[in-house]
Amino acid sequence: MNLYDILIAPFDYSFMRNALIAVLIAGVLAPISGFWALNRRMVYLMDAMSHSVLPGVILATLWGFSYLYGGLLAALLLTAIVFFLAKKERAPEDGAIGVGAQTLFAAGVILASKSSDSRSFNHILFGNPFAIDSSAIALMFSTAIVAILLLGSMQSKLVASTFDHEHAEAIGVKVKWVDLVLILALACTTVVGLSSVGVLMTISLSVTPAVTMRVLKVSFMKARYGCVLVGGLSGLFGILFSYHFGVPAGPTVALTCTAILIASIFYIYAKTLFLSSKKREVTV
């Protein structure tokens, strides 16, 4: 088997092309959202989103709608609950997230008992990009564009409030609205991950690239682009590994992303050892 058969030939099939587009959309959006979530310590919120989409997906399945619409509505409902409790009622943010996510998850479990379609649960947890169609891709793409535009429109305010929360408020930045925009972007990210890598794997695809940039000590401004590169490579090679080895696509993409992180750690250690040996040689 040559390189063409490994890297190019699989995409002769339409389902592989659709799968690649789906994971690349997630591989671009998730790291962008995850970068801000990690730096603003909102990773717990992303994890909560993965539970909160359950009732929306179940209801959409029962009523004959796309589960992507149901997941988006549920994620937006969690956003509204968190914003109301944390920003309006002054509840602790992690408490607001816990209340909202667990309430929606409990509702989802009850609804699930009324559903006989187990495929919805597999889609939620692990994704299924090989079964995605053009209409779902169009919805994923439009959702991702909305999220990226939201984050792009608030970029300077995100930077200011991330580095110094109090200073940002002092110069007129409405931090609570910045947080709301980020929460909305995280909701969109969760929905995009539903069909591609699954909501559980979306967390890994969101956070791991940002952690990789931390390990490599990439500057804050450049790290955002590095995150997208790691996410895109994880999506591409994850899909190829999944195809050739016959394993689930979502977990494979997530593990590929983790493998890049591990390789980065080894690179840093090897670089440190090499520089140390060079320094000893110069000293001698």
Give the model's pLDDT for residue 120.
Answer: 54
> What's the number of CA atoms in the CB half-sphere (13 Å) around residue 75?
29
pLDDT digits (tens, 9 = 90+) for 162-204: 877 777 777 777 877 888 888 888 888 888 888 788 877 888 8
> Which residue shows structure tokens 């999506």?
235
Per-residue pLDDT, averaged over 102-123, amounts to 73
Q: If we measure between CA atoms, which residue out of 21, 19, 28, 225 comes closest to residue 145?
A: 28
> Which residue shows structure tokens 């002769």?
12
Q: Collect all residues with Cβ–Cβ distance below 8 Å to 162 and sequence separation of at least 6.
A: 36, 39, 40
d(CA 120, CA 151): 30
Q: If we measure between CA atoms, which residue out of 264, 271, 250, 270 comes closest to residue 19?
A: 250
Say yes or no to pLDDT of 15 above 60.
Answer: yes
pLDDT digits (tens, 9 = 90+) for 61-103: 778 777 778 888 888 898 888 878 877 777 787 888 888 888 9
In the numeric block, which tokens belong to residue 81?
Answer: 């609950």
Query: Could you say which DSSP state residue 8 is in?
Result: I
Per-residue pLDDT, averaged over 142-150, amounts to 91
Domains detected in the chain? 13-283 (1.10.3470.10)
The whole-chain average pLDDT of the chain stands at: 85
Contact of 71 with 189, CB cutoff 8 Å: no
User: How many CB atoms neighbour CB 186 within 10 A?
Assistant: 28
> Residue 117: left (phi > 0), alpha (psi -120 to 50), or beta?
beta
Q: How confident is the model at residue 124 (pLDDT cuts 50, 70, 90)?
A: low
258 vs 109 pLDDT, higher one: 258
Give the model's pLDDT for residue 254.
Answer: 92
Per-residue pLDDT, averaged over 37-43, amounts to 86
In the numeric block, which tokens belong to residue 284?
Answer: 């001698």
Give the model's pLDDT for residue 1.
Answer: 67
d(CA 15, CA 128): 11
Per-residue pLDDT, averaged over 221-229, amounts to 92
pTM for the full predicted model: 0.85
d(CA 134, CA 153): 28
In the numeric block, which tokens belong to residue 47?
Answer: 């994890």
Per-residue pLDDT, averaged over 141-164, amounts to 88
d(CA 181, CA 191): 16
Per-residue pLDDT, averaged over 199-226, amounts to 90
Say yes or no to pLDDT of 253 above 60.
Answer: yes
Per-residue pLDDT, averaged over 271-277, amounts to 83
Q: How confident is the model at residue 30 (pLDDT cuts 50, 70, 90)?
A: very high
Give the model's pLDDT for residue 260.
Answer: 96
Give the model's pLDDT for residue 206.
Answer: 92
